[in-house]
Structure formats: C-alpha cells, structure tokens
C-alpha cells in the first residue's frame, strides 16, 4: 500500500499501489489512472519536510530538465503536482525493474546483450550531451528497463543532473561512490567526462558481475579509487578486442586522457549507426533490394557488399522486433541472405573465374569454399576420383571403394562443420555421393547375379551333356 493510509488530495485521478523504491527524501509508487485508459505510471512522492535547500534545487533542476526533453531511452516526466506536504512527479512506468536487478539475476551479461544496453545508453547520453546536460549519477539503479522481455533501456533519476557546457568545471561531490569518477572522489575540479567514467563502471559490472572497485567498506573503496594503478580487466570471460579497448579508455583515471564524448559515440563497439530501432528493418530492406538488383545484373562484388551492409541492420532489427511471427519471418529471410552472401564472397575472392562462367554449380562452389580446410579438400578430391572412375565404366569396384572412403571422411567433417552455407553444400554433396554409391552398389550386385545365373546355366548344360 501507499503507506500510513494517506490519500494525496491532488492525486484523485490516480490510485497508488505498491512502492517501487525509496531514497533519502522520496518514495516511488506504482500507480494507475482511475479513468479512461487506466494507464500505469510511476509516481515519485517527495516529502517537503525532508528537503533541505540543496535537495530543493536538485528537485527543481530534475523537473526543469525532464519537462523539456523527450527521448525513447530517457524516462518521461508526464506531469508534476503538489499539495501542502508532498511534490509528485508522475513518470513513465518501467515494468522491467532496474539494470542492477537485471544483472544480479543473471550474474553477468553476455557481451552482445551488454552491447545493446550500452548502445541505448549512448543514445540517451548523446541526446543529453547535445543539450549540455550531464547526469552526474549514472549507475545501474538509475537505469530502468521498459519490460521484463526484450527490454528497452530508460535513463532515470536526474536529481543530480546539471546543465554543464563542456568547459564548465564543478567540485561539489555528487553521485554514488562506487560509480563516481576519481576526480569527484578526490574533490578535484571535474567536468562532463565524469559520466563517461560511470559508463565504464556500469559496462564493467554488466560484463564481469561486479563493479571494478567492489569493497567491504567506504575506506577501502576510497583507497582503491584514489590509487594511481590502472584498472585491470579480468581475463575471463573472453571479450572482443573492441570491447576491451573501450573499457580501457572509459576507465582511464586521468580525465585528460579519458576518451572524449565524440570518440565514445564514434567508437566501433558502441556503433551507434546500428542501434536497434524502428528504422532498422527499413534500412535493411532497402539495402537488400539493391543487393538483389546488383546480383541479377551479375555484379557479384557490389551485391556482396550490399548484402553485408543489409545484415548489419537486420541484426538490430531482429533485436527490436517483439512480434514472434514477424521475428521468425525476418530470421528466415536473413538465413537466405547469409547463404547468398557466402556464395558471393567465394565468387568475389576466388581466382577461379570459371566459377562465374559455369553458373556457380554446387560442387565447384563447395570446393572453392573448402580451400582453407585441407581434410575437406582431400575428401572431395577422393569423391571426384570416384565419380571419374565410375564414368569411365571400367572398374566399378574401385569406384565404389573410393566413394565409401570419401563418404566416411565427409560424414565426420559434416558433424564438426558449423552452421552456414558450406555446411549446407557439404550436406547436399554427401547425399548426392551416397545416391551414386548406392546405385553403383546395385549395379555391381546385378552383374554378380547375372554372372552367377550364367554359370548356373552353363553347369546345367554340362551336366545334361554328361548324362547323355
């Protein structure tokens, strides 16, 4: 319940239910509108009596900032009201809880999941940075998730946020120590780059399950933060080079050497161009249409390049899509485009121009795609020798033996081959070779039966002559 049985007189249009969280001077409740849509919201109830002058200023700044901004990765302030005892901030409700709980429930996040969240956080920060706004209290508890499944990140709690130009410097201690930049903890002058340090700590916690300076006491935490030693990244789990590079640049103790906002937004691991969003599928589709046109015109290099660019948008489109049927339909199309892109890659990189002239037969394409696999190349050569010997028609037994030898090796290689176009082609080739081997085996059995029949007939004739 909303505590102590009180009923806010100016909030008659809402019913407050369970508390979602509380802080020094505010409690956030889940609530819903009584009429019409029965919209679910979160209401931040601030007790006026608990406010000192600094917290009043923080609250006014939070309202001022949230009133003027709208962004899909920032929690929306829908309205604010007040009465004699309380100030009420009526906010967008986020059913997925906060990022801290999300990480804790999974212990640590896979790199690809952490990257999607980082991209969305970067979008929110870019929006704020363009308006000279610094959050100054970035931490997983202030990052909400829109839903339990396929969540969208929402930056929240702007109680410490400030309008700061890039050249502005402050020295007031703000934020949470675990996520606070060293220059803040050391009470030195700081600027907007403190948010980038906090981003690094959040990314570190998402990937490794705990923040880099996890401590048992504030004294221990302060000592670790004040240290001059570079932040070390654990060797496990394995991360991409791009991810480790970004973490190293974000967790740079010296703010002058820390990555800049411009370089952060342009970093290949952040890759803001391919953030999942409603426009991802449209961009992917436009590129695929052009790729198919180039493919039909016979421009393999251009088609391959366009397919690759399209796939870079299809991945975020899949992440963004919530409808199960639509997602599966997109996946099926993506599998087709990947297969064609793999074929075109072979054609583009191959020195064997005959592949283009032959119209890209499956066996020749498979051989070209097997060039980096000596065992597979050798097994395919044995299969080719079996086909050649069979077509000569001189010794079917030798041909059958070669078929069986190649199939034994190819079946082992198929079991170890990862999903992809080469596996599809290898599977089809094995089926073809099996069918040829079976046909050859039947031919040999038939000839043996005929031979045995002739011998039996000859024996019968000889017996008849002997009796006469």
How would you write 27-57 as a 3-class SS string?
Answer: EEEEEEECCCCCCEEEEEEEEHHHCCHHHHH
333 annotated to a ligand binding site: no
342 & 287 share domain: yes
Tell me the pLDDT tens digit for each residue of 354-376. 554 444 567 777 887 788 888 99
- Cα distance between residue 207 and residue 110, in whole Å: 7
CATH code of the domain covering residue 265 = 1.10.510.10
**pLDDT band with cut points at 50, 70 and 90 for residue 462:** low
- Per DSSP, the three-state class of 80 is strand
**pLDDT band with cut points at 50, 70 and 90 for residue 166:** very low
**pLDDT band with cut points at 50, 70 and 90 for residue 269:** very high
CA 376 to chain centre: 32
302 & 158 share domain: no
Does 219 or 401 have the greater pLDDT score?
401
- Per DSSP, the three-state class of 388 is helix
Q: How far is CA 292 from CA 296, 342, 400, 424, in A?
A: 6, 14, 42, 21
What share of the chain has pLDDT > 70, as a percent?
87
For residue 405, what are its two tokens? 């030898």
Write down the pLDDT at residue 1.
40
170 & 260 share domain: yes
Position 437 pLDDT exceeds 90: no
Q: How far is CA 146 from CA 102, 116, 129, 254, in A?
A: 12, 14, 23, 35
- Is residue 197 within 8 A of residue 182, CB to CB? The reply is yes
How confident is the model over 264-278, as a mean pLDDT?
A: 90
84 & 160 share domain: no
Residue 361 maps to a domain: no
Query: Which ranges of 37-142 does DSSP label H, i.e. alpha helix?
Result: 53-68, 99-106, 111-129
CATH code of the domain covering residue 31 = 3.30.200.20
110 & 257 share domain: yes
125 & 260 share domain: yes
Q: Which of 219, 244, 274 is the last residue in one of the domains?
A: 274
83 & 106 share domain: no
- Cα distance between residue 299 and residue 293, in whole Å: 9
164 & 223 share domain: yes
Does 203 or 59 have the greater pLDDT score?
203
- Is residue 174 within 8 A of residue 137, CB to CB? The reply is yes
| Domain extent at residue 187 | 99-274
143 & 254 share domain: yes
Q: Is the pTM of this model over 0.85?
A: no
How confident is the model over 108-135, as a mean pLDDT?
A: 93
Residue 323 maps to a domain: yes
**Nearest CA-CA partner of 393 in 468, 431, 430, 444:** 444
Tell me the pLDDT tens digit for each residue of 32-72. 888 777 889 999 888 888 877 777 777 887 888 888 889 99
Residue 467 maps to a domain: no
- Cα distance between residue 449 and residue 371, in whole Å: 43
Q: Which of 73, 92, 111 is the last residue in one of the domains?
A: 92
> To which H or E segment does residue 14 belong?
strand 14-22
Write down the pLDDT at residue 3.
45
Write down the pLDDT at residue 464.
59
CA atoms 202, 150, 339, 306: torsion sign: negative
For residue 42, what are its two tokens? 């979160």
- Is residue 28 within 8 A of residue 89, CB to CB? The reply is no
How confident is the model over 147-170, as a mean pLDDT?
A: 70
406 & 449 share domain: yes
How confident is the model over 76-85, as a mean pLDDT?
A: 86
- Return the ∠ at Cα 278 (arms to 273 and 281), rounded to 5°: 75
44 & 191 share domain: no
CATH code of the domain covering residue 395 = 1.20.58.80
Residues noted as catalytic? 137
Q: Which of 30, 60, 92 is the last residue in one of the domains?
A: 92
3-state helix, strand, coil in the chain (%, to 5): 55, 10, 30
């Amino acid at each position: 319940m909303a505590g102590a049985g009180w009923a806010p007189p100016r909030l008659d249009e809402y019913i407050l239910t369970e508390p979602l969280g509380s802080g020094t001077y505010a409690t956030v409740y889940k609530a819903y509108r009584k009429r019409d849509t029965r919209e679910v919201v979160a209401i931040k109830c601030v007790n006026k009596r608990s406010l000192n002058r600094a917290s009043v200023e923080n609250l006014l700044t939070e309202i001022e900032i949230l009133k003027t901004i709208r962004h899909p990765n920032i929690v929306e302030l829908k309205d604010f009201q007040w009465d004699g005892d309380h100030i009420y901030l009526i906010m967008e409700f986020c059913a997925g809880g906060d990022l801290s709980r999300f990480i804790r429930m999974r212990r640590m996040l896979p790199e690809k999941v952490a990257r999607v969240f980082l991209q969305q956080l970067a979008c929110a920060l870019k929006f704020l940075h363009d308006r000279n706004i610094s959050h100054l209290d970035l931490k997983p508890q202030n990052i909400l998730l829109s839903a339990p499944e396929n969540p969208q990140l929402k930056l929240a709690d702007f109680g410490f946020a400030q309008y700061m130009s890039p050249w502005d410097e402050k020295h007031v201690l703000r934020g949470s120590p675990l996520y606070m930049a060293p220059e803040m903890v050391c009470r030195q002058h700081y600027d907007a780059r403190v948010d980038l340090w906090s981003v690094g700590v959040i990314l570190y916690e998402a990937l490794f399950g705990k923040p880099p300076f996890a401590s048992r006491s504030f004294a221990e935490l302060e000592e670790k933060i004040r240290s001059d030693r570079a932040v070390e990244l654990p060797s496990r789990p394995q991360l991409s080079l791009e991810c480790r590079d970004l973490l190293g640049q974000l967790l740079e103790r010296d703010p002058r050497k820390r990555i800049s906002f411009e370089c952060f937004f342009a970093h290949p691991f952040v890759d803001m161009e391919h953030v999942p969003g409603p426009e991802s599928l449209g961009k992917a589709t436009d590129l695929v249409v052009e790729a198919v046109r180039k493919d039909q015109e016979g421009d393999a290099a251009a088609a391959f390049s366009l397919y690759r660019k399209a796939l870079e948008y299809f991945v975020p489109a899949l992440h963004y899509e919530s409808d199960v049927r639509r997602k599966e339909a997109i996946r099926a199309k993506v599998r087709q485009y990947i297969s064609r892109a793999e074929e075109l890659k072979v054609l583009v990189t191959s020195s064997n121009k005959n592949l283009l002239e032959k119209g890209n037969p499956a066996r020749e394409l498979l051989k070209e795609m097997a060039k980096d696999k000596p065992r597979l190349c050798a097994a395919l050569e044995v299969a080719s020798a079996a086909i050649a010997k069979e077509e000569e028609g001189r010794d079917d037994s030798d041909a059958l033996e070669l078929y069986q030898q190649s199939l034994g090796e190819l079946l082992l290689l198929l079991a170890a081959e990862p999903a992809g176009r080469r596996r599809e082609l290898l599977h089809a080739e094995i089926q073809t070779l099996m069918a040829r081997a079976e046909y050859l085996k039947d031919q040999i059995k038939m000839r043996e039966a005929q031979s045995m029949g002739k011998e039996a007939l000859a024996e019968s004739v000889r017996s008849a002559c002997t009796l006469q």
